[in-house]
Amino acid sequence: MSLIPGTYIIKSKMNDLYIGPNNGAVISLPPGTEAPRWQVEQSGNGTYVVKIDGKWAANDDGKLAVTSDLSVLWRITNDERNGPGAFVIGRTDGPEGWVMSEEEPGNQVAVRILIVAPSWPPFYPPNEVWMLSRVED
Query: Which carries the bigger pLDDT value, residue 2 or residue 34?
Result: 34
What whole-number distance in Å separates Cα of residue 3 and Cα of residue 6?
9
Kindly state the percentage of the chain with pLDDT values over 90. Answer: 82
Per-residue pLDDT of 13-27, as tens digits, reads: 999 999 999 999 999
- Answer whether 0.85 is exceeded by the pTM: yes
What whole-number distance in Å separates Cα of residue 47 and Cα of residue 30?
30
The residues spanned by each domain of the chain are 6-135
Environment class of residue 37 by beta-carbon count within 10 Å: exposed (0-12), middle (13-18) or buried (19+)? middle
Per-residue pLDDT of 68-79, as tens digits, reads: 987 799 999 999
pLDDT at 115 over 70: yes
Give the number of other Cβ atoms within 10 Å of residue 135's Cβ.
11
As a whole number, mean pLDDT of residues 91-113 equals 95
What whole-number distance in Å separates Cα of residue 79 and Cα of residue 81?
6
What's the start-to-end Cα distance of the chain, in Å?
22
What's CA 5's distance to the chain center, in Å? Answer: 14
pLDDT at 1 over 70: no
Kindly state the percentage of the chain with pLDDT values over 70. Answer: 99
Q: Which fold has domain 6-135?
A: Trefoil (Acidic Fibroblast Growth Factor, subunit A) (2.80.10)
